[in-house]
Amino acid sequence: MKQKLKIAIQKSGRLNDDSIRILKECGIGFNDGMNKLKAEAMNFPLEVFFLRDDDIPQYVEDGVADIGIVGENVLLEKNKDVKIVDRLGFGKCRLSIAVPKGRKYKSITELEGQRIATSYPGILSRFLKKQKVNAEIHEISGSVEIAPGIGLADAICDLVSSGSTLFMNGLKETEVVLKSEAVMIANTQLAEWKTVLLEKLLFRINALKRAGNNKYILMNAPDTNLEKIIKLLPGMRSPTVLPLSEEGWSSVHSVVNENEFWEIIEQLKNLGAEGILVIPIEKMIV
């Protein structure tokens, strides 16, 4: 039997869909049927384990799985000996402290001696220690946001994404303890052949990430401003320039980074570029 790399992903929950999607977009197909513990990939030597996210760091540390996809918040809470090999750009959230909306709050020193409910006692206690604040940490496993309302705590420390859960429970965010996203973790002592497979996988993931951050753009440009337009568009090596059948105009193609995108479009328009088309890129290999 061919040797396989073993990856652990969340069985169900917020990271499940995106973890499966990223592998599929890397060309790795598998049956992700319900109630399955594991699946064999069809076109990559990979075995996929479906687990609870909380268990993934331990499985990777022990080498039961070689790699795994997990929220950085879970990883830091579990404090296991694994390494982060890539940040995946999904599952973004922050771990924040929140207090009742009506309470006046100026600084973290006001939490001295107070009760804070959280499912992240490890991360929170390290954070408070750094801030030189002594508080009573109450560990609860779910529905943390109701703790102040029922008199269990004065503040909470929980994951936030849109902020609507805090809002609905009459709470306001006061400190960001951690910014988190899904990360790829790996066992620290992978065999050479496993490292080779991991590198292959990361190469594909990076092609996806790069593509997601870039757009392919095409436009008609007046030849009079062609040089200035080309200077704005670095492209992969340099932009493609093709003559239009109408004299004095060219078609220019290039790749533009999302962060600079709107600024560049403005400048292109000012230089007389017309018919600008922007197209998503599926994969980008440099």
Binding residue for Zn ion, selected from 18, 25, 32, 54, defined by CB under 5 A: 54
Query: Which residues in 39-58 contact ligand PRT (CB under 6 A)?
Result: 52-54
105 contacts 154 by C-beta, under 8 angstroms: no
Tokens 């940490």 sit at which residue? Answer: 137
d(C-alpha 117, C-alpha 158), whole Å? 8
Q: How many CA atoms lie within 13 A of 239 on its CB side?
A: 24
Query: In the complex, which residue's CB is closest to ligand PRT?
Result: 71
Residue 44 to residues 29, 41, 165, 244, Cα–Cα distance (Å): 8, 6, 40, 44
- Size of interface with ligand PRT, in residues (CB under 6 A): 21
Strand pairing report for 274-280 and 115-118: unpaired
Which one of the spans 47-55, 166-174, 195-203, 276-284 is the region binding Zn ion (CB under 5 A)?
47-55
Residue 18 or 54: which CB sits closer to Zn ion? Answer: 54
According to the binding rule CB under 5 A, does residue 53 interact with Zn ion?
yes
Residues 170-199 that bind ligand PRT (CB under 6 A): 180
Cβ(269)–Cβ(282) below 8 Å: no
- The contact mask relative to ligand PRT for 134-173 (x = CB under 6 A, - = no) is ------------------------xxxxxxxx--------
CA dist 128 and 110 (Å) reads 12
The Cα–Cα gap between 82 and 71 comes to: 13
Tell me, letter by letter, the H, E, C secondary structure of 76-94. HHHCCCEEEEEECCCCCEE
Residues 71-100 that bind ligand PRT (CB under 6 A): 71, 73-74, 91, 93
Closer CB to ligand PRT, residue 154 or residue 158? 158
x/- map, 138-177, Zn ion, by CB under 5 A? ----------------------------------------
Residues forming contacts to Zn ion in the complex (CB under 5 A) are 53-54
Residues forming contacts to ligand PRT in the complex (CB under 6 A) are 10, 13-15, 52-54, 71, 73-74, 91, 93, 158-165, 180
